[in-house]
Amino acid sequence: MIGIFDSGVGGLSLLNAVQRVYPFEDCIYISDNKYAPFGEKEINFILERCRKHVDFLIEQGASIIIIACNTATTIAINSLRKEFDLPFIGIEPAIKPAITISTSSKIGVIATRATLSSSFYNTTKCKYANNDSVVEIIGEGFVEAVESGIIHSKSFQEHLRKTILFFKRHEVRFVVLGCTHYFFLKDEFERIAGGDMIFIEPTEAIIKRLKAIYGENHISTSKQSKTSIYCSGAGDAVLRILKGQKFRLLQLDY
């Protein structure tokens, strides 16, 4: 069984990618949407929530866990790897591939406040880039907009346009989406940018890492795979995003 958790519905894009590669494997997903976004929470609170999620996923039978949250990865993955004896796959802003393919001296990064201030993120940035070559902006309200389904509202569309204009003023062409919730905004970003920017997210790299750890040909013993999704808050956003798909929607009780 593959376990995945996020602060909300952002990681559902990764769940779909995992299921395309392992269609016969059971998956369990946690949307901790009662406490979203993680990017505005205290570090100790995020660490405690991550530990609880890992304990729960292990109890359910997960043999590998994907942390589908940039903030949780940057803050908690090192501690979780020390505390729990199973493989973890985390997500971090795709600075390395962005720098590799960029044809200019700058790349852009949109992420939460917690991710941009974390030592994990800044170590990665220093390894592959420098402060002058990375233009950063906090995705204020982006997580909330995806969770509530208002990304097409007039006010939020204007917010997205201002974000694009910010990067254009800095002559940025390659922009890293540093939060899984932002993956659901990629089409909107591309439409507003009008072909002037390329938006990078790490789904392909995550799947490649999953195959390396979990095995190219791993097949569940279950005759029919099951997908269980637990929410700490309301399940409306999950139902909206996964409309037409088969899954069990359950309430998280911690």
Q: What amino acid positions are annotated as catalytic residues?
A: 69, 179
Query: Residue written as tokens 């659901």?
Result: 184
- How many helices (H) does the chain have, and how many strands (E)? 12, 10
Q: Are strands 27-31 and 88-89 parallel, antiparallel or unpaired?
A: unpaired
Assess contact for 227 and 26: CB atoms under 8 A: yes
Residue type at position 211: K
* Strand intervals (E) in the chain: 2-6, 27-31, 64-67, 88-89, 107-111, 134-138, 174-177, 198-200, 227-231, 248-251
- The Cα–Cα gap between 171 and 168 comes to 5
Assess contact for 76 and 46: CB atoms under 8 A: yes
